[in-house]
Amino acid sequence: MDTDVGDYVVCSSPEYMGTTGRIVHIERNGSDPCMKLKWYWGFYEILRNIDMTGKPPIEIGELYATTTEKKLPANVTMRKIRITSKDVFDTLPQTGKGTQLFFCRFVCSLSDKKLTEAKEEDLDFEPSPRKRKAEEVDDADDRVHPSTRSGKQ
């Protein structure tokens, strides 16, 4: 079943664990045959007023979320939500205190069964460190876990 308006999402990113959202509008959808992804442009509505104490602000980037289909609460699949704008859209209806709307790119695997295995590779929009050119590796040292530095050449 495709992601649709009214579907609820629960963020599973560590910083925003438990944040509840709802898809309120979808502009268009399509797919990228090369990456075997299906994507949707739309609006992700944060329904719960988030206590941001000690948490980074929601910025352009990616959130992992569990999407529960509206009529099938037991049918839970992993989706990736890519925040593409921090703008708040006042023209669309907002429900609840502290509600914010973000323009997003909803990404899911064309094969939901393979999404668990694919989320680290197929859904990785940034170049992975192992694919970087040698001269770029030094720039990424601050992002490399100390245990992986010993194998650096």
Q: Give φ, ψ of 67 to 5 degrees.
A: -95, 120
Question: Distances in Å between the alpha carbon of 118 and those of 7, 109, 122, 134, 152?
Answer: 22, 8, 5, 26, 26
Range of the domain at 123: 8-127
132 falls within a domain: no
Query: Residue 66: CB partners within 8 Å, gap ≥ 6?
Result: 9, 10, 12, 76, 77, 78, 79
23 falls within a domain: yes
47 falls within a domain: yes
Give the integer Cα–Cα distance in Å for 55 and 39: 28
- Bridge partners for 12 per DSSP: none
Name the pTM for this structure. 0.28
Domain total in the chain = 1
What is the per-residue pLDDT across 45-81, written as a single tens digit (0 to 9) for each? 444 444 444 444 444 344 444 443 333 233 333 344 4
